[in-house]
Amino acid sequence: MSRDAANKKLPTLSAGSIVKMAGDLSGKLIQRNWKRFVIAVPLVWLLIFFIVPFVIVLKISLAEGMIARPPFTPLFEWAEDLSFTISVTFENFRFLVTDDLYYSSYLNSLFLAGKSTIICLLIGYPMAYGIARSRSDIRGILLLMVVLPFWTSFLLRIYAWMGLLNKNGIINGALLSMGIIDEPLNMMFTEGAIYVGIVYSYLPFMILPLYATMEKLDESLNEAAADLGGKPFTVFYTVTLPLTLPGIVAGSLLVFIPATGEYVIPALLGNYDTLMIGRVLFDEFFSNRDWPVASAVAVALLAFLVVPIMMYQHFQAKDGERS
C-alpha cells in the first residue's frame, strides 16, 4: 500500500477537535474523581466517628476491671523480649446474662421506645400527610414549624417540660383555675412524663421522612381507586399506606433507635425506678466505674439494634432486586 493511500484512510484531526477531545477526557476524569470523593467522605466519617470508637469500646468490654486509671486491664502486654500477650475475657458478657438488672433494663427500654415510636407514628402520619397536601405557599411555613424546636437546646426543652408538668406548673394551674380538677395532678417523675418527653423530642424525626415520601405520591392513583368504587379507608389501606411504607420504616427507625438509649429524658422526667439502659450505662461508667461491664452493655445494645436493622435492609434490597 502506498503512502498516499495510507494517508487517505487516516482521519484528519484539527486543532479544535483535539481540544474538544482533551476537554471531554478531562471532564470524565474529574467526574470520576468527584464521585470517588463523594463516596469517600461518608466512609471516612463512619470510620472516624463510628468504627474507631466501637473498636475502642469493644476492646474495653473484653478486659477486666481494676482499680487504676484507666480502670481496666490492658488488652496487649509487651514483655522485655518484645513479645506480647493478649488478655481477653468474656466474663463481662456472661455477667450481663446472669444479672436480672441488665436484660430487664433492655426489655423495658425496648418497650418504652417501641410504644413511643407507635405514638409518634399515629401523631406524625396525619401531620405529614396534611403538610404534603397543603398549598405550596404555606408548606414551607408548616415545615419550619416542625423543625423550629431544633433551634433551641435539647436540654432546655426538657427543662421546660419539667415546668409544665410540675404540681405548681402551668398545666395544673390551668386545670385548677377552670375547675376541672380539685387538686394538682402528679405528672412529674412518672412513666407518662417519659412518653411525653420522648414523643415531643423525636416527633420531627417521624414527620420529615413521612413528608418526603408523601410529597412524591401521585394523587391521581387515589382518584383512580376512588373512581373504581374504593371507599376512603380502602383507598388508604390499599394505595396510600403501601406507597408510604418506606417513610414509615425510616421514621420509625429514626425514633426507635435513639429512644432506646435515651438517658436525659428518663433522668429528668421519669422516676428513678424506671429502668432504662441509658441510665444503667451512666451508672456503670460514672458511679460504679466498671468500664468493662459498661462497654459490654453498650456492645450488646448495639448488637440488638444495628444487626437486625442491617439484616432487614439486606433482605429488603434483595426483594427489590427480585422485583
User: For residue 78, what is the enclosing H or E element?
Assistant: strand 76-78
- Three-class SS of residue 89? coil
| CA 126 to chain CA centroid, nearest Å | 21
CA distance 301 to 96: 11
pLDDT of 125 > 80? The answer is: yes
Give the confidence band of 6 by pLDDT, cuts at 50, 70, 90. very low
Is the residue at 228 inside a domain?
yes
Is the residue at 67 inside a domain?
no
Average pLDDT score, the chain: 84
Is the residue at 62 inside a domain?
no
Is the residue at 47 inside a domain?
no
- Three-class SS of residue 84? strand
Is the residue at 216 inside a domain?
yes
CATH number of 115's domain: 1.10.3720.10
Q: Domain of 142?
A: 99-289
Give the amino acid at 36: R
- How many Cα neighbours within 13 Å face the side chain of 27? 6
Report yes or no: 160 and 237 within 8 Å, Cβ to Cβ: no
Give the confidence band of 10 by pLDDT, cuts at 50, 70, 90. very low
Is the residue at 24 inside a domain?
no
Number of domains into which the chain is organized: 1
pLDDT digits (tens, 9 = 90+) for 241-299: 999 998 998 899 999 999 998 999 999 998 877 888 988 898 888 888 899 999 999 99
Is the residue at 39 inside a domain?
no
CA-CA-CA-CA torsion sign (190, 194, 197, 203): negative
C-alpha cell at 269: 422526667
Burial 106-133 (b: 16+ CB within 10 A, else e): bebbbebbebbbebbbeebbebbbebbe
Question: For residue 283, what is the DSSP state?
Answer: I
Distances (CA, A) of 9 to 3, 4, 12, 53: 10, 9, 9, 64
CA distance 194 to 270: 6
Mean pLDDT across 105-121: 94
Is the residue at 87 inside a domain?
no
- Three-class SS of residue 56? helix
